[in-house]
Structure 1
Amino acid sequence: MNILIVEDEVLLAMELESEVEDAGHIVVGTAVDSRQAIELIDTTAPQFAFLDIQLLDGPTGIDVGRYLSAKAIPFVFVSGNLKRIPEDFAGALGAIEKPYTMNGLQNAMKFLESVVDGRATSLVPPPSLVLSPAVLATLTA
C-alpha cells in the first residue's frame, strides 16, 4: 500500500516510516502541517494515511482527516490524546494512542490492512487499536 504519514514530531515520523516500510508498504510522503498534508494527498494519491491530530499549525489533523474521508482514503489517527477525536472519528477507521509499542503498531497495521482489503469481517482488533463506531458496526454485523 502507498501510505502517507502526517506527523509533526520528526523522530516519531521517521520511526513510523521505518515500521511501515518494514511491513512492506511504501511511504509516499511525510507532512508536518495541514497545508503540506493536503498538498501531498492531492499529488501522491495515498491508499492509506497515519494522521496525528496536533500538527505544526495546531489541532488541524481532524480537518485533514475530513479531507481524506471526502476523498475516500482510509486513515487512522495516531495521537497522544484520543479524547480530541470527534464522535464520528472524522471518518477515520480508528486510532492508535501514543506512545505505542512497535509490536502494537505492527499488530494494528496488520489488522488495518485486512480492514482496507475487506478481510476483517470476523477478526478481533488488537488492543493497540481503538476502532471507530462505524468500523465496529461493520465487524459485528
Structure 2
Amino acid sequence: MSGRMDVLIVEDEVLLAMDIEAMVEDSGHTVLAGATCVEEVKALPRDINPQLALVDVHLAHGSSGFDACRIIQQRWPDALVVFVTANASKIPNDFLGAHGVIAKPFSHAGVISTLKYLAEGVFDPPPTLARPASFQPSPHLRQRWVG
C-alpha cells in the first residue's frame, strides 16, 4: 500500500456506513469521522484533515450529498471527494468538482481496489495501478494528478 489515508464517510444508511467503515479500516486506512446529513458535515471539527471523503448523494433529512461535497471542498480543499451512490446517472458531467464515483451496489473487492488506487494517487500521483472497474474518475482527478 502507498500509505494510510484519513477518510471521512458521509452516508445516511447506518449499516452501509458501518460496512464502508469496515472496508476502509480493513484496507489499512483510518476513518476520521462520519456524517449522515449536511448539518452533521457542517458540525465536524475543522481541525480534522481528511484525504478522502466518501459521500452518498441522498442523505438524511432530505439533504444532498452535492451540498456536502461543496462544504467539504471549501473546508478541506486538498481532500479527494468520491460519491458513493446508487444514482450515479444523477451526478452532473462536471461532478461538481468531485473526483469520481463508486456506484452502488458495490462489491467489497471493488471498494478495496478503489481505495488502493486512490491511496497510490494521494501519496505518489499518478497511480500506476490499473483503474478499478468499480470507480469512475472525473476529469478533475486527472487534472489533479497530472497537472
TM-score past 0.5 threshold: yes
Distance 1:83 1:33, change over 3 A: same
- SS of the equivalent of 2:61 reads coil
Correspondence for 2:138 among 117, 129, 132: 132
TM-score normalised by length of structure 1:
0.88
Structure with more relative contact order (C-alpha pairs < 8 Å, separation 6 or more): 2
Residues matched between the structures, number: 141
List gaps (5 residues or longer) in structure 1.
Answer: none
One-letter amino acid of the counterpart of residue 50, structure 2: P
1:21 aligned residue = 25
Whole-angstrom distance in 1 between the partners of 2:22 and 2:145: 29
2:102 aligned residue = 96
Deviation string 1:36-79 (CA, Å, 9 cap, x unpaired) is 01222625332211100100122511111122222312120000
Identity of aligned residues (%): 38
Structure 2 counterparts to residues 1-141 of structure 1, below 5 A: 1-40=5-44, 42-70=46-74, 71-72=76-77, 73-136=79-142
Instruction: Tell me, yes or no, if the aligned pair for 1:51 and 1:61 is still in contact at 8 Å.
Output: yes
Distance 1:139 1:46, change over 3 A: closer
TM-score normalised by length of structure 2:
0.85
Whole-angstrom distance in 2 between the partners of 1:122 and 1:21: 23
List gaps (5 residues or longer) in structure 2.
Answer: none
- SS of the equivalent of 2:46 reads helix
Aligned-pair Cα RMSD in Å: 2.0
